[in-house]
């Protein structure tokens, strides 16, 4: 097993109050697997991903359970040791491609940033690998884009830049936190294709988080349904979609605007 999350619970502490965002979450993933987490907004799916990625401020959250990645419990690592995984073994792309890139840094610098942090490669080699990653992420003219700034790119292109930056070190696991929610439907389909390609070519495992069942169904092999911080149901895509066991999952499937989705109704999480 590449990833084993066991009894993961996350509580946000604000002064005297504490809110449980995720409770007793369990998930196992193999190398190269594509797994989806589905749930409505506030179900704890993003918090799970951010916890796995080590992005939550340790002073503000209480985390219990374990996240074993390639045999190492990430939750027991020091901040510094955790950084060795971030961007190298584990990468993440976010929902907001418009704001997730640094406005004053060139695309090239942002794509190769993980290389600069984690390797001792020279400038030319970094550039070569960045261009390669950009091509892998489906950017058609990496050479020209290398010197551009984010504001010169469309939302879809920025999301591809994010993907390129996440993939530049060929991580074992890519977390995709609603990566297509903010994009329109055609672009959404293209990005999903790109992710599928990457999974096939590079063998990168993908943990795909979405509120959109259709998207998860088309991309993932297994799916976890979450509600209010708890796993409601999990299993293979076929099992969950065609033979849902839980009322909530059924309701979720029923509530989906079947087929009309493609007509352009973009939902927001």
Partner 1 sequence: MVKTLAKRMGLLLLTLLLVTVLAFLAFSIIPGDPTSSILGVDATPEQVAVLREQLGLDLPIWQRYWNWLSQAFAGDLGTSYNFRMPVGQLMAPKMSATLLLAALSFVLIVVISIPLGILSARHAGGWLDRVVTVADQVTMSIPNFVVGIALTYLFGLVLRWFEPGSYTSATRDLAEQLRYLIFPALAVALPRSAMTVKMLRGSILSEMGQDYIRTAYSKGNSQSSVLWRHVLRNAMIPVVTFLAMAIADIVAGSIVVEQVFAVPGLGQLLISSIGNRDYPVVQAIVVLVAAVVVVCNFAADLLYRVMDPRLKGR
- Contact positions toward partner 1, by CB under 8 A? 53, 55, 80, 83-88, 91-92, 94, 96, 99-105, 113-114, 117-118, 149, 151, 162, 165-166
Smallest gap from residue 260 Cβ to partner 1 (A): 30
Tokens of 3: 């990833």
Least spacing, CB of residue 113 vs partner 1, in Å: 5
Helices (H), the chain: 45-53, 79-83, 107-111, 113-118, 123-136, 142-145, 155-167, 185-202, 213-219, 237-242, 247-255
Shortest spacing between CB 23 and partner 1, in angstroms? 24
The smaller minimum CB distance to partner 1, of residues 46 and 234, is found at 46
Rounded to whole angstroms, the Cα distance separating 57 from 51 reads 9
Q: How far, in Å, are 99, 140, 141 from residue 135 at the CA level?
A: 22, 6, 8
CB within 8 Å of 222: residues ≥ 6 apart: 33, 34, 35, 36, 234, 235, 236, 237
d(CA 196, CA 89): 19
> 18 vs 105, which CB is nearer to partner 1?
105
Q: Considering the complex, state which of residue 25 and residue 85 has its C-beta at the smaller distance from partner 1.
A: 85
Whether 5 and 27 have beta carbons less than 8 Å apart is answered as yes
- Closer residue to partner 1 (CB): 260 or 268: 268
Least distance (Å) from partner 1 to the CB of residue 93? 9
At residue 63, what are phi and psi to the nearest 5 degrees? -115, 135
Give me the least distance between CB of 151 and partner 1, in Å please: 5
Closer CB to partner 1, 91 or 188, in the complex: 91
CB of 18 to partner 1, least distance (A): 19
Cβ 96 to partner 1, closest distance in Å?
A: 5
Would you say 183 and 177 are in contact if contact means Cβ atoms under 8 Å apart?
no
Contact of 70 with 2, CB cutoff 8 Å: yes
Nearer to partner 1, 113 or 202 (CB): 113
- Nearer to partner 1 (CB atom), residue 60 or residue 186: 60
Phi and psi torsions of 126, nearest 5°? -60, -45
């Amino acid at each position: 097993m590449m990833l084993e999350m066991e009894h993961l619970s996350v509580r946000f502490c604000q002064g005297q109050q504490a809110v449980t965002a995720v409770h007793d979450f369990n998930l196992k993933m193999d190398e190269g697997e594509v797994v989806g987490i589905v749930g409505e907004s506030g179900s704890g799916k993003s918090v799970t991903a951010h916890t796995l990625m080590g992005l939550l401020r340790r002073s503000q959250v209480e985390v219990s359970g374990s996240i074993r990645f390639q045999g190492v419990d990430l939750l027991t690592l020091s901040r510094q040791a955790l950084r060795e995984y971030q961007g190298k073994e584990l990468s993440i792309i976010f929902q907001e491609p418009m704001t997730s890139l640094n406005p004053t840094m060139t695309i090239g610098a942002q794509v190769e940033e993980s290389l600069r942090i984690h390797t001792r490669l020279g400038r030319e080699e970094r550039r070569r690998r960045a261009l390669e990653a950009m091509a892998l992420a489906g950017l058609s003219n990496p050479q020209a884009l290398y010197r551009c700034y984010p504001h010169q790119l469309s939302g879809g292109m920025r999301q591809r830049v994010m993907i390129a930056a996440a993939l530049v070190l060929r991580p074992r696991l890519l977390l995709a936190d609603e990566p297509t929610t903010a994009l329109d439907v055609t672009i959404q389909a293209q990005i999903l294709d790109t992710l599928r390609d990457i999974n096939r070519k590079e063998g990168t495992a993908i943990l795909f988080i979405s509120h959109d069942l259709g998207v998860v169904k088309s991309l993932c092999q297994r799916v976890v349904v979450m509600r209010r911080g708890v796993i409601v149901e999990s299993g293979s895509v076929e099992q969950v979609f065609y033979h849902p066991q839980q009322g909530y999952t059924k309701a979720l499937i029923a509530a989906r605007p079947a087929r009309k989705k493609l007509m352009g109704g973009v939902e927001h999480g």
